[in-house]
Structure 1
């Protein structure tokens, strides 16, 4: 039993070292310019340790960002009052602005965006009552809003966060309400 626990700890340590090494390399390099060899050398582990934990460098970034983003969304979905959820998401956007800017600069934003979109789908699926909408309306509305919220967040960050978070919250809420009303109206207008 002790050997198994020891092996698990070694694997976890290797994973941590690899994540740390890649994040350090990303401070000065684009993701596409970094190799597995560079990461394992910086981490002080073998290639075998890399492949026991990950298949690609993207997997390292997913392993790092997914638990963090998932935890933030879990707080918003499960522990935030309904009328404060958009504000809580906005605070998350603000708090992670440096991380997001680096992801954009270093060409791994798509990893953050995929995790974000996955969480937004879960968020909207849990906070909106979908009884009067078709599955197609629900699916595509969620994808549309997720992409829109992400685009607003990204633009806000890249433009130096000039608008207040409250203004951004109002904008997103207005888009949500307007597009949901349009779906309701569409349903009632269909033959």
Structure 2
């Protein structure tokens, strides 16, 4: 149940679960603005989110899992947009990634500022990198795509994301000139 302006709204299980997950995630992200992840307790997160510890453990395995799941949400958004826009243009695929990252710039810069970019790297490689089941060609192709894409994304984040997604695409379109190498 959520109360807003003297009205109570009864939520279904799916809606309630989504509410709890978002409340926990928002609470942790807010706390990360001033404290290290290791200094934040599950109890503090649930208190700030106004949910029970049981709710936390029903939805997350750890504090890192909260961040991983938010990252996964954004990676799935990228995957879904790639499928829906059906672009074969590699640069447009990068643009979609940059566009999504730009929309969530505060989150990605928070990962940088709290030394949690390794969580983004882990999820990126787990979702797009080569697997043991891939044949040799697929494995090398995925490795090239994943390492180059993640490297480009991480460099942009580490540099403060001062360029827009459109500027990043334009940079890819132009390529690096010899004087830049």
TM over 0.5: yes
Contact in 2 for aligned 1:40/1:47 (Cα 8 Å): yes
Q: Name the residue aligned to 1:113.
A: 121
The alignment of Structure 1 onto Structure 2 pairs a total of residues equal to: 157
Q: Name the residue aligned to 1:89.
A: 97
Deviation of the 1:107 alpha carbon: 2.7
Structure 1 residues 61, 82: CA separation in 2 closer, same or farther (over 3 Å shift)? same
Q: Distance in 2 between matches of 1:24 and 1:111?
A: 18
Structure 1 residues 11, 107: CA separation in 2 closer, same or farther (over 3 Å shift)? same
Matches within 5 A, 1:63-102: 63-83=69-89, 84-102=92-110
Q: TM-score, normalised by structure 1?
A: 0.67
Matches within 5 A, 1:110-189: 110-121=118-129, 135-160=135-160, 161=162, 164-165=167-168, 166-169=170-173, 171=175
The CA deviation string for residues 104-139 of structure 1, in whole angstroms up to 9 with x for no partner, is: 1113222222333344449xxxxxxxxxxx812321
Q: Which moved more, 1:48-57 or 1:63-72?
A: 63-72
5+ residue gaps, structure 1: 123-133, 173-191
Please identify the structure whose Cα radius of gyration is greater: 1
Q: TM-score, normalised by structure 2?
A: 0.70
Q: Name the residue aligned to 1:54.
A: 60
Hey, which of these two has a bigger chunk of helix by percent? 1
